[in-house]
Amino acid sequence: MIPPTHRQIRLAARPTGYPRDDDFRIVESPVPEPGSGEFLVRVVYLSLDPYMRGRMSDARSYVPPVAVGDVMEGGIVGEVVRSSHPGFAVGDVVEGRLGWQEYALSSGKGVRRIDPALAPISTALGVLGMPGLTAYFGLLDVGQPKAGETVVVSAASGAVGGLVGQIAKLKGCRAVGLAGTDAKARYLTEELGYDAGINYRTAPNLDAALQATCPGGIDVYFDNVGGRITEAVSRHVNMFARFAVCGLISQYNLTEPELAPRNERFVLVNRVRIQGFLVFDFAARYKEGLARLAEWLRQGRLRYREDIVEGLERAPGALTDLLQGRNFGKMLVRVGPDPVVAHGATGRAS
């Protein structure tokens, strides 16, 4: 039963510092009717991701921001409920960037069909989606780890970082993760197979903790956070170390950028390669990445964790939680009932 109207979350104002509830507005809008070549999707899961903070700002970036008044941008998994499109049928489960709303119209551009038999459909926003591909290509292509090397990962328990450490282990590396609570640091070693986990918030001395957990030095740093953690890591690098710069979450909500890392000498004397990347750089190879991730998942060699909040109206608060480290695992909003779980076809992995 499709209702006549649905809820959307629109950007109301550009935030200063961390986003606040009044930077968003919930709007009731008519559910659109698909024209020829279009289909209507009922949103089941909305992905919340750190990049959304960037889309709320008009600072120059790699894509234009969301305009004030527009529906917030976001990846979703949903179910096709009406279709006038030859390639998508009612009942198909799809993933695409269709925004913070309960129903969305699509022409099919940038939308892919999900196989619900493969894994819970929410994984299309996590291990079998953008975060998984980021971990896979960022570590293997940018970081270029070799067996026996030490890989350090920041935001290591999150959607991307949780997978980076596991892939590093699959490649025969030593993996050390930094995370913001004791429970997260324990999860790294007890559940994900990291060799060591450091709570960077409570470690009395980050240098001593890195020294103790990386006695042979650091060869690859998968940087999700930037700032003072990156500066500490830089003091422990080996010759020809590689920094795969994936994200700078410690900086996204600052009104003045932090002046770190300040010790560029480490780049010169150790001939370090620092390379930023965006997952889109590897778009031509997504099929390869997803196939490999799905194979590892099927073999039980990759674990993941989801942090799901209920109801579209909770998305703004959940985004701020994510930006402040209050999530534990891939942050999702359940916008409506999961059609696959509802039919009892699959359970939730962890």
Ligand X SMILES: NC(=O)c1ccc[n+]([C@@H]2O[C@H](COP(=O)([O-])OP(=O)(O)OC[C@H]3O[C@@H](n4cnc5c(N)ncnc54)[C@H](OP(=O)(O)O)[C@@H]3O)[C@@H](O)[C@H]2O)c1
268: helix, strand or coil: helix
- The one among 42, 82, 174, 184 contacting ligand X by CB under 6 A: 184
- The one among 12, 238, 273, 277 contacting ligand X by CB under 6 A: 277
Which distant-in-sequence residues (6+ apart) come within 8 Å of 47 by Cβ? 74, 75, 76, 125, 126, 129, 130, 330, 331, 332
**With binding defined as CB under 6 A, does residue 47 bind ligand X?**
no
Upper half-sphere CA count for residue 82 (Cβ side, 13 Å) = 14
Place of tokens 């030859």: 86
**With binding defined as CB under 6 A, does residue 192 bind ligand X?**
no
Task: Find the shortest distance in angstroms from Cβ 294 to ligand X.
Answer: 19
Q: What's the DSSP call for residue 85?
A: B
**With binding defined as CB under 6 A, does residue 246 bind ligand X?**
yes
- The one among 152, 325, 332, 338 contacting ligand X by CB under 6 A: 325
**With binding defined as CB under 6 A, does residue 158 bind ligand X?**
yes
**With binding defined as CB under 6 A, does residue 9 bind ligand X?**
no
**With binding defined as CB under 6 A, does residue 126 bind ligand X?**
no
**With binding defined as CB under 6 A, does residue 80 bind ligand X?**
no
- The one among 322, 332, 333, 340 contacting ligand X by CB under 6 A: 322
Over 207-267, what HEC string results?
Answer: HHHHHHHCCCCEEEEEECCCHHHHHHHHCCEEEEEEEEECCCHHHCCCCCCCCCCCCCHHH
Cβ nearer to ligand X, comparing 40 with 151:
151
Compute the distance between CA of residue 153 and CA of residue 137 in angstroms, rounded to an integer: 14
**With binding defined as CB under 6 A, does residue 230 bind ligand X?**
no
Residues contributing to the site for ligand X (CB under 6 A):
49-51, 131, 134, 155, 157-161, 179-181, 184, 224-225, 229, 246-250, 277-279, 322, 325, 327, 330
